[in-house]
Amino acid sequence: MSELRELYQEYVLDHGKNPRNFRYPEGATHTADGYNPLCGDKITVQVRLDGDVIADLGFQGQGCAISTASASTMTEAVKGKTLGEARAYFEKFIAMVKGEEEPDLSSDELETLSVFAGVAEFPMRVKCATLAWHTLTAALEGKAEVSTE
C-alpha cells in the first residue's frame, strides 16, 4: 500500500469519526442544505461572513466517512479566507478529486486537501468528497439547496 493511500485512509478515518467544526456557528449569515442521492449523504453548511472573509463556519448532517472527512477538512481550510480564496480552493479541490489536476502543495491548507487526490481513483466517491464544497458554494451564492445530481 502506498504511503499516500495509507495517509488518506488514516486521515479520512480520523476526520470521519471526529469531524472538526461539526456545529452551527453563532450569527451565521449564509446557510445551505446539500444532498447526495447516490450515497444518501445529507449536510447543512452554515457560514458567518465578516465583509468578504469567512469568519466562521460549521456543518452538520449524516454521511459516509469520505463526505464527513471532506466537510471537516473544508471547514478548516477556508476559515479565515476571503471569498476569492475559498472559491480558488473549491476549484482546485474539485479538479483534483476528479483527476483533472495534480494536487497543489503551495500552502499548508492545499497540502492537507491533497490527501483527497486518491478519490479520483474511485469515480463513484467523487460526489461524496465534493458535496460539502458544493454546499458551501451554494450557501455563499444565496442558494438554499444543492444536490450532486
82: pLDDT confidence band, cut at 50, 70 and 90? very high
Give the pLDDT of residue 19.
97
- Least confident stretch, 21-25, 53-57, 110-114, 130-134: 110-114
32 exposed, middle or buried (CB, 10 Å; 0-12, 13-18, 19+)? buried
In 3-83, the DSSP E strands lie at 30-36, 41-50, 53-62
Q: What is the pLDDT of residues 25-78, one digit of tens each?
A: 999 999 999 999 998 999 999 999 999 999 999 999 999 999 999 999 999 999
3: pLDDT confidence band, cut at 50, 70 and 90? low
Asked if residue 104 has pLDDT above 80, the reply is no
Give the chain's domain count: 1
Asked if residue 1 has pLDDT above 50, the reply is no
Domain that holds residue 49: 3-142
> Of all helices (H) and strands (E), which one includes residue 123?
none
Asked if residue 107 has pLDDT above 90, the reply is no
Give the pLDDT of residue 102.
85
**pTM for the structure as a whole:** 0.93
Residue 54 is assigned to a structural domain of this protein: yes
Residue 73 is assigned to a structural domain of this protein: yes
Residue 121 is assigned to a structural domain of this protein: yes
- DSSP line for 69-105: HHHHHHHHHHTT-BHHHHHHHHHHHHHHHTTSSPPP-
From CA 28, how far away is CA 30, in angstroms rounded?
6
Which CATH number covers residue 63? 3.90.1010.10
Residue 61 is assigned to a structural domain of this protein: yes
